[in-house]
C-alpha cells in the first residue's frame, strides 16, 4: 500500500506526519453503509489502495468529523438529484465527488 502511495519506507510516513485515510468514508460506502451498493454494483471496494490518500496528521485529527459530514451532505444531494433512488447514483459521480472533496481537504497522493 505504501509503495502505491509513493512512500518507499514506512518511516517516511511518520516523519512527514501524514496518515493514510479512506477517500470514501467507510461509514457511508463500507460494509453496512447506506451507499455500499454503489461500490458493489461497480465491483469496487472502498478499502482498495487506489481509494486511499495521505492526509496531514494534524488536519486528519481536527477535520475528520467535518470531512464525513461533508460526505453525508454531498451524498444526500446526489440522492435527491436522482429522485431519492440510491440505485440510480452512478459510481462515476461518486468518484468525481471523491476527487473534489479530497482536494478541498488537502489530501495528497490521490490516484484515481
Query: What pLDDT score was predicted for residue 34?
Result: 95
Q: 84-111 pLDDT, tens per residue? A: 999 999 999 999 999 999 999 988 778 7
Of the candidates 5, 75, 73, 67, the residue with the CA atom closest to the CA atom of residue 39: 75
Residue-wise pLDDT tens digits, 16-48: 677 888 999 999 999 999 999 999 999 999 999
Confidence (pTM): 0.83
Radius of gyration of the chain (CA): 14
How many angstroms separate the CA atoms of 109 and 88, rounded? 29
Amino acid at each position: 500500500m505504501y509503495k502505491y502511495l509513493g512512500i518507499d519506507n514506512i518511516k517516511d510516513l511518520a516523519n512527514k506526519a501524514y496518515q493514510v485515510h479512506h477517500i470514501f468514508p467507510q461509514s457511508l460506502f463500507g460494509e453496512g453503509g447506506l451507499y455500499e451498493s454503489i461500490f458493489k454494483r461497480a465491483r469496487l471496494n472502498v478499502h482498495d489502495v487506489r481509494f486511499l490518500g495521505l492526509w496531514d496528521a494534524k488536519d486528519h485529527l481536527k477535520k475528520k468529523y467535518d470531512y464525513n459530514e461533508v460526505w453525508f451532505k454531498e451524498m444526500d444531494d446526489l440522492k435527491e438529484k436522482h429522485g431519492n433512488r440510491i440505485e440510480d447514483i452512478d459510481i462515476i459521480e461518486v468518484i468525481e465527488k471523491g476527487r473534489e472533496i479530497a482536494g478541498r481537504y488537502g489530501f495528497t497522493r490521490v490516484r484515481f
